[in-house]
Structure 1
Amino acid sequence: MPSTLYAIGDIHGQKAELDRVLDLIQTDGGTGAEVVFLGDYTDRGPDSRAVIDTLIDGRDAGRNWTFLRGNHDRMFDWFMSDPLRHDPYMMVELYWLHPRLGGDTTLASYGVDAGGRRREQDVQADALAAVPASHLSFLRDLRMTHVRGDLMFVHAGIRPGVAIKDQTEEDLLWIRKEFHDYTGPHPKLIVHGHTPVDAATHYGNRVNLDTGAGYGKPLTAAVFEDGKVWTLTSEGRVPLDVSPA
């Protein structure tokens, strides 16, 4: 039998969508299915707390699930650190609680008001009292990459021409243009999210599974088996072929 692996794109607090694609995976592969989550579990959507609860429950039940770190997960983790940390990669006018990034919505799912003109330190104090320690541990234990055979799973992508072992955390979490523009072969087929597209897309050297759940669009789950790729729908598997150049 071929080895089968499933991957789920950026969830962004969309608990109902997460439940939907987990049901699709269970129907296709059973409760023992190996699943890689590509990061960005929180922000923008309304149910970040419930998303993390679901992932922790699956892990604790012994599911074969691997959780990767996304840039939004790091922003949440760093906001909860002592001292509070901002991600230096972001534009100067942005910060995690900015509505554009969605940290305010994440904290609202824990009952924390991050709006108005409240000082960040006061918001953080309320968050530290409200966010379960198990959620903070989950965020801090997230992996940067997962490699299986000819597949490499990562949140944002890799820097072309740099060995996998030498990739930086900043690139793995944030890279876009240099990675997207590169059409040559990578050491492995790169499966990633981070940059929303209208539909899951196979570019030949990479597969993008971020289909905009953070903006209210459907979440995507994909199947990787014996060198082939499918997306999962209520009607079953749909082949995800390489897109024309």
Structure 2
Amino acid sequence: MLRLSRAKTKARRPRLPDGIRIYAISDIHGCADLLQQMFTVIDRDLANLGSMRAIHVFLGDYIDRGPESRRTIDLLIERGLRHESVFLKGNHEAFLLEALQEPLQLQAWRRFGGLQTLTSYGLRPSLSPDASEQAELIRQLAIAIPPHHMRFLGGLRARFVCGDFFFVHAGVRPGVPLAKQEEHDLLWIREEFLQSDEKFGKYIVHGHTPVQQPDIRPNRANIDTGAYATGNLTLLTVQGDSLLAL
């Protein structure tokens, strides 16, 4: 359990508007069972929340690497029907959408765990598909993905702002105003962002780069704890100026 340290933040702490609590999760990567466990934790908390407005914020990378990409999306869609939810796009969702348009992208996508996603939709790809098999796999995948999953993927957002907090998949490019950030950076950036001590104008909550435990810093919080490899999926709750990572 980690909190934003007051000792490290002598300046005004970032705040959410009064009456709002946010539950943020990132980089599920097909680990549907872990996601279901986190929903149980959230539901237990919601039972004691009273009239406060609760917002679920998911930071992308719902698919690939883990075994149950399809079920993960099903769980997210169902959750969004019953709770106020914001679904952000990760680089893995971007790769899937690109592969559906250009089958030869499958060769690169499989290095990111794309074959596990194909399997979750009932396809049986070989370990090293040639160009003709790639085209056929993408054709089959386009048929296998249900329309409501495509609507979900097509509706993913690149960012979400609430109060002093900026939620995004990967991070932001230092030196560029938040309003002018390019989507590619929001989905893919690493070292330039991770090594920066810049105050970005908002407190950045992100995932994308796995860490052993939630990395809570004065200017940002990384909550990607490598669920598919470690079995640890992190939930960050934000209320007022308090951050609590479980």
Residues 43 and 214 of structure 1 are in contact (CA less than 8 Å); yes or no, is this contact kept in structure 2? no
Superposition deviation, residue 85 in structure 1: 7.0
Give the letter for the 1:214 counterpart: Y
Give the letter for the 1:174 counterpart: W
Residues 178 and 200 of structure 2 are in contact (CA less than 8 Å); yes or no, is this contact kept in structure 1? no
Aligned mates of 1:133, 1:161 — CA distance in 2: 40
Please say if 1:191 is aligned against 2:211. Answer: no
Bigger relative contact order (CA 8 A; separation at least 6) = 2
- Name structure 1 gaps, 5 residues minimum: 88-93, 233-245
Question: Counterpart of 2:120?
Answer: 109
From 205, 213, 216, the equivalent of 2:227 is: 213
Residues 100 and 138 of structure 2 are in contact (CA less than 8 Å); yes or no, is this contact kept in structure 1? yes
From 143, 155, 171, the equivalent of 1:129 is: 143
Residues 24 and 57 of structure 2 are in contact (CA less than 8 Å); yes or no, is this contact kept in structure 1? yes
Question: Counterpart of 2:194?
Answer: 180
From 95, 109, 113, the equivalent of 2:108 is: 95
Aligned mates of 2:34, 2:64 — CA distance in 1: 14
Residues 45 and 216 of structure 1 are in contact (CA less than 8 Å); yes or no, is this contact kept in structure 2? no
User: After the TM superposition, which residues 49-64 of structure 1 pair with which residues of structure 2 at under 5 Å, given as runs?
Assistant: 49-59=70-80, 61-64=81-84
Residue 210 of structure 2: SS of its match in structure 1? coil
Question: Counterpart of 2:134?
Answer: 120
Question: Counterpart of 2:64?
Answer: 43
Give runs of ≥4 in structure 1 deviating > 6 Å: none
Residues 104 and 135 of structure 2 are in contact (CA less than 8 Å); yes or no, is this contact kept in structure 1? no
Residues 34 and 231 of structure 2 are in contact (CA less than 8 Å); yes or no, is this contact kept in structure 1? no
Question: Counterpart of 2:7?
Answer: none
Please say if 1:10 is aligned against 2:18. Answer: no
Aligned mates of 1:201, 1:67 — CA distance in 2: 22
Give the letter for the 2:110 counterpart: L
Residue 110 of structure 2: SS of its match in structure 1? coil
Higher helix fraction (1 or 2): 2
Aligned mates of 1:193, 1:199 — CA distance in 2: 12
Per-residue CA shift, 1:203-242, capped at 9, x if unaligned?
110000000013243100011111110023xxxxxxxxxx
% identical equivalent positions: 40
When normalised by structure 2's length, the TM-score is 0.85
Please say if 1:20 is aligned against 2:37. Answer: yes
State the Cα RMSD in Å. 1.8
Residues 38 and 67 of structure 1 are in contact (CA less than 8 Å); yes or no, is this contact kept in structure 2? yes
Question: Counterpart of 2:54?
Answer: 33
Q: Which deviates more from structure 2 when the two are superposed, residues 1-10 or residues 215-224?
A: 1-10
Residue 93 of structure 2: SS of its match in structure 1? helix
Aligned mates of 2:146, 2:83 — CA distance in 1: 21
When normalised by structure 1's length, the TM-score is 0.86
Aligned mates of 1:23, 1:206 — CA distance in 2: 27
Give the letter for the 2:68 counterpart: D
Residue 109 of structure 2: SS of its match in structure 1? coil
Superposition deviation, residue 84 in structure 1: 3.9
